[in-house]
Structure 1
Amino acid sequence: MSIKKILIANRGEIACRIIQTCRQLGITTVAVYSQADRYARHVAFADEAYYIGPSAPDQSYLNIEQLIAIAKESKVDAVHPGYGFLSERSAFAEAVAEAGLVFIGAPISALQLMGSKSAAKQSMEAAGVPCVPGYHGDNQDAEFLAEQATAIGFPVLIKAVAGGGGKGMKIVSNDSEFIDALNSAKREAIKAFGDDAVILEKYIEHPRHIEVQVFADTQGNVVHLFERDCSTQRRYQKIIEEAPASYLTDDTRVELLNTAVDATKAIDYVGAGTIEFILDEEDNFYFMEMNTRLQVEHRVTEMITRTDLVEWQIRVAEGQPLPKNQMSIQAHGHAIEVRIYAEDPDNKFLPATGVIQALQFTEAENIMIDSAVQQSDEVSIHYDPMIAKIVVWERDRKRCIRKLKEALNASYLFGLKTNMAFLSSIVSTDAFQSNAIYTNSLDKGDLDVEVPLEAAVAAIYVDSLYQQAPADSLWQQGDQWRLNALDRSVTVAFEYQGEQHQQTVVKVGDEYRINGTHYYRIHPKDNCHLFHKQAHVIHKGKRFELLLPDVESQSAAGANSNQLNAPMPGRIIDVKVKIGDAVNVGDSLLVMEAMKMELNLKAEKDTVVKLVEVCADQQVVADQLLVEFEES
């Protein structure tokens, strides 16, 4: 059959990505949108768009009945689920098939099998694919699971059976922590996937995350498109992916790729899939799971193999054979992708919300930007905080890292916190450049990603302000910056990584004297992007994010130091304390859900609880008072 019209049952960046390929193939696209996405980029990009429901995912993008109704109304031939949401739900694929439409994804049998981590492990073990030792059975009794964890040996990893993206996943160091971690994993899993079943695995201390892109057609052909390294993660979620994994030996790579193809054949798979492995320090690899969909990081594979995997998906769904056989798929150069998240790396990667006031992503040869956000868009609490991807290609990994740093340092986004400066810092570390990063390196604090604040930043900043800022700009207001004539001293106050700084600068010719001691010369490649109270400064290849302090909010924060306020909008899951409780630094006070993740809010000092202003299942807004403490 020939597919002429496709409904995209997704939103954001992946919806735009699918539309891009459909346009090249002359295929008409139909988008869906929630209340929060009424003016989203993917809506305008598609040929047609239909309202799907309220902002909450379970009332919109997870509403199978409504999606099928729109598919019928718009008279599409096929449905593409993208990734996330319903992409791996067998019930959705069944509903699409019952409606007489083509599901551009895995077969229902594979979705059912691989949708359960326990069943997937059992099927792989039967096929001779090595798996991490653990418990993959159906018994979900808490005491039984605690016994299994003890038998496996701590540390153990709790993983949601229907999970992905780090949700419903907890590392447990000892038996005393197990029940609390199990309950938290189950709560996350039921919210994210509608299924709270878990499995247990032995936790590998220094793991690498390696995955193989596989593809199969209805004629029985199965190929791999090489591997990706996804070891740079935070909170079990990938933030940097690259292809190929340059540290693998030839023998390990061949064995890994062949195992992935054998695993794909063993389950009679069709379409795009990813076999994920964990690699230990002795280069032994173990099956983790199979993602029966397109991956976020598919772009790095496309870059090194010069393919369009969305086009492959459509062709296979039409019943056509794979466009290439294994011998004709070659790897060229190196590609790296970074995920831009709306989050605060200086505050435990807490998701950020707000309106995008200004943004710029680098456009250049062999640099690809996948994004669905634009100026004036609001990043809400309802969906995943990933807002863009920057993907670069070069002849080798060293050149690729250099190009990526340049792309990051020339990009900016104002209006809410992002991880762009953090990503720039990671790729600058010796550990990243020497392939010495493990999946737990960031969470354990093993990487030195702190960017030292150089006094030169203030000099660059003042110079940029003097040259770029209009006379009526906020930056020129004397009560904040006290910008005097540059032949005299200039005092610059700013916030950097949550701390307040003040530096005095004197300009002498083309140089600046900082705090009366050091001279710095402005470098031609130094760059400064300014917007309202926020600035990104690049100096000697290092990226800094500076914020002009708000005097009123700073004083308010000081006055309210005996209060715990909601860091962002969300829902209270559990209240751990009551009035009169004595708490110590690090004690859990509340568990809050926001942007599909659980946040454990902890005490930051030894104190006594005076008031508890919220209860479980209560919705809260940003900065709402949650707990008040006795005066120190």
Structure 2
Amino acid sequence: MPVLKKVLIANRGEIALRIIRTCHEMGLRTVAVYSTADADSLHVRFADEAVCIGPPSSGESYLRPDRIIAAAEVTGADAIHPGYGFLSENAEFSQICSDHDITFIGPRAETIRLMGEKSQAKKTMAEAGVPVVPGSDGILPSMEEGKRLADEIGYPVMVKASAGGGGRGMRLVREPENFEQRYEGARSEADAAFGNPDMYLEKCVMNPRHIEIQLLGDGKGNVMHYGERECSIQRRHQKLLEEAPSPIVDDELRARMGEAATQGAAALNYAGAGTIEFLVDAEKNFYFMEMNTRIQVEHPVTEEVTDCDIIEHQIQVAMGETVTRTESPLRGHSIECRINAEDPARKFSPSPGTITAFHQPGGLGVRVDTHAYTGYRIPPHYDSMIAKLIVHADTRERAIKRMKRALDEFVIEGVKTTIPFHQQLLENEDFKAGTFDTQFMETFTFDPNA
């Protein structure tokens, strides 16, 4: 296996800076790539080398494998870490890296491809003994077959894009008379977003919790898990706040979910960090939803409760190290608030612009992952997240109090942010009691005058 010396980070913003920090602590040199819009980003400043790969459009920069590979070859990078988003779950990019003798710090191309095709992923997990939601056995051959199956398993059902993600190409169907309209709407959206109109169908698990298991595999059949993350606070299928452990998961459920997740990943001979996401119903039955074959935005909450560096573990596995544990013990409680440049008073509309004042919170148990600073101009071309605020404490109650204090200290001026939203969220009685589910944001109302 390779002994890595220089890692190119094929990403931007906070995750690129996060990876750079770990690489430097491991004695690895780093290469940043950037678009012209990101020339002043901190990931460019703190990498050992930096290469401009194109104009602001991600389609002409961060999504161009040829330019990223060229940057790796010019700088002599022997590995590429894709971060999350962009090319992180692109099987062709993983294969291109392999073809150029560059270590891709992530799963093999065939694993990414299999798990990216949602209906095949579900079939694979079912064959491995992982609980799955009742539904179609693979891709629906026609809308008529979808209607027949929906009648058989009972409404409500979800029609989903086989190549979907981020909530696109997904529709809830409550009654038979709405099936055709919802099916065609999801199919058209999937075709436009992914270039793949294939659909599959699942029974809708009503008011579930969205809980995921963090995994690490070594590609030799060994897989471990780091416990679960609670990800039910989301808007339009985009997560807003995450925590670990989940308020509803006890030791017995954690053991069952962890065993199922590691069993599923082992069946793939999984290599690298990944996440299996489950829907959990009111009776604590859990069902496979999807697998993310990359590092997750919310990985810091798991790091805080396991006292480990998951990025470091990713790199170690890429260099051939063997996973020797089956699980990692949990300590205390951690919460992450995603701080986005968005205006919660205007339906979370983006708020790009120049940050005129930026003061990070600090103190015991407070972590901020960010690439922003006073004078930084937030470009309008990419995701609006500018920081992740993470806290850790010995109990969930104390973690909530610590997060409230940290949000009060966090000063960002010049643009609108989601800090006021999170401040109100943490005062919500259902959130404090841990009695929320994935429908929470449908009834939560942000008060701009509070």
TM over 0.5, shorter chain: yes
Give the AA of the match of 2:374. Q
Please state how far the C-alpha of 1:150 moved relative to its aligned partner.
4.9
Q: Partner residue of 1:321?
A: 322
Contact 2:370 2:388 in 1 (8 A): yes
Please state how far the C-alpha of 1:355 moved relative to its aligned partner.
2.6
CA distance in 2, matches of 1:143, 1:385: 40
Contact 1:218 1:320 in 2 (8 A): no
Q: Partner residue of 1:68?
A: 69
Please state how far the C-alpha of 1:269 moved relative to its aligned partner.
0.7
Please state how far the C-alpha of 1:220 moved relative to its aligned partner.
3.0
The structure richer in helix per residue is 2
Assess, with a 3 A threshold, how the Cα gap between structure 1 residues 133 and 97 changes in structure 2: closer, same or farther: same
Q: Partner residue of 1:263?
A: 264
Q: Partner residue of 1:217?
A: 218
Q: Partner residue of 1:523?
A: none
Q: Partner residue of 2:361?
A: 362
CA distance in 2, matches of 1:200, 1:405: 41
CA distance in 2, matches of 1:425, 1:117: 35
Contact 1:168 1:186 in 2 (8 A): yes
Q: Partner residue of 2:56?
A: 55
Please state how far the C-alpha of 1:194 moved relative to its aligned partner.
4.4
Q: Partner residue of 2:277?
A: 276
Assess, with a 3 A threshold, how the Cα gap between structure 1 residues 269 and 142 changes in structure 2: closer, same or farther: same
Superposition pairs for residues 141-540 of structure 1, below 5 Å? 141-142=142-143, 144-145=145-146, 148-175=149-176, 177-186=178-187, 188-190=189-191, 192-322=193-323, 325-326=325-326, 329-442=328-441, 444-445=442-443, 447=444, 449-451=445-447, 496-497=448-449
Cα displacement string for residues 210-263 of structure 1 (whole angstroms, at most 9, x for unaligned residues)? 111111114432111111111111111111111111322332221111111111
Contact 2:140 2:199 in 1 (8 A): no
Contact 1:233 1:239 in 2 (8 A): yes
Q: Partner residue of 2:16?
A: 15
Assess, with a 3 A threshold, how the Cα gap between structure 1 residues 246 and 123 changes in structure 2: closer, same or farther: same
Please state how far the C-alpha of 1:362 moved relative to its aligned partner.
0.6
Q: Partner residue of 1:132?
A: 133
Q: Partner residue of 1:102?
A: 103
Give the AA of the match of 2:420. A
Contact 1:302 1:308 in 2 (8 A): yes
Please state how far the C-alpha of 1:268 moved relative to its aligned partner.
0.9
Please state how far the C-alpha of 1:175 moved relative to its aligned partner.
4.6
CA distance in 1, matches of 2:68, 2:102: 12
Please state how far the C-alpha of 1:412 moved relative to its aligned partner.
2.5
Cα displacement string for residues 524-575 of structure 1 (whole angstroms, at most 9, x for unaligned residues)? xxxxxxxxxxxxxxxxxxxx5xxxxxxxxxxxxxxxxxxxxxxxxxxxxxxx
Matched position secondary structure for 1:428: coil
Please state how far the C-alpha of 1:5 moved relative to its aligned partner.
0.3
* Ranges in structure 2 where 5+ consecutive residues have no aligned partner: none
CA distance in 2, matches of 1:357, 1:314: 37
Give the AA of the match of 1:154. Y
CA distance in 2, matches of 1:377, 1:121: 43
Please state how far the C-alpha of 1:131 moved relative to its aligned partner.
0.6
CA distance in 1, matches of 2:107, 2:14: 21
CA distance in 2, matches of 1:154, 1:136: 17
Matched position secondary structure for 1:159: strand
Q: Partner residue of 1:25?
A: 26
CA distance in 2, matches of 1:187, 1:71: 37
Cα displacement string for residues 373-426 of structure 1 (whole angstroms, at most 9, x for unaligned residues)? 223333333211222110000011110010001111111222222211111111
CA distance in 2, matches of 1:215, 1:371: 25
Higher gyration radius (CA): 1
Assess, with a 3 A threshold, how the Cα gap between structure 1 residues 190 and 24 changes in structure 2: closer, same or farther: farther
CA distance in 1, matches of 2:185, 2:355: 32
The alignment's C-alpha RMSD in Å is: 2.1
The one of the two structures with greater contact order (alpha-carbon pairs below 8 A, sep at least 6) is 2
Assess, with a 3 A threshold, how the Cα gap between structure 1 residues 154 and 342 changes in structure 2: closer, same or farther: farther
CA distance in 2, matches of 1:416, 1:338: 17
Matched position secondary structure for 2:120: helix
Please state how far the C-alpha of 1:90 moved relative to its aligned partner.
0.8
CA distance in 2, matches of 1:408, 1:196: 42
Please state how far the C-alpha of 1:433 moved relative to its aligned partner.
1.1
Please state how far the C-alpha of 1:144 moved relative to its aligned partner.
4.7
Cα displacement string for residues 481-532 of structure 1 (whole angstroms, at most 9, x for unaligned residues)? xxxxxxxxxxxxxxx45xxxxxxxxxxxxxxxxxxxxxxxxxxxxxxxxxxx
Contact 2:345 2:446 in 1 (8 A): no
Give the AA of the match of 1:388. A
- Normalising by structure 1, what TM-score? 0.68
CA distance in 1, matches of 2:348, 2:141: 31
Give the AA of the match of 1:155. P
Assess, with a 3 A threshold, how the Cα gap between structure 1 residues 56 and 183 changes in structure 2: closer, same or farther: farther
CA distance in 2, matches of 1:263, 1:424: 38
Give the AA of the match of 1:403. R
Cα displacement string for residues 448-481 of structure 1 (whole angstroms, at most 9, x for unaligned residues)? x555xxxxxxxxxxxxxxxxxxxxxxxxxxxxxx
CA distance in 2, matches of 1:374, 1:198: 43
Matched position secondary structure for 2:56: coil
Contact 2:368 2:388 in 1 (8 A): yes
Cα displacement string for residues 3-34 of structure 1 (whole angstroms, at most 9, x for unaligned residues)? 11011111111101100101111111111111
Aligned length: 449
Overall identity of the aligned pairs, in %: 44
Q: Partner residue of 1:85?
A: 86
CA distance in 2, matches of 1:288, 1:29: 35
Contact 1:117 1:136 in 2 (8 A): no
CA distance in 2, matches of 1:123, 1:156: 21
Contact 1:35 1:55 in 2 (8 A): yes
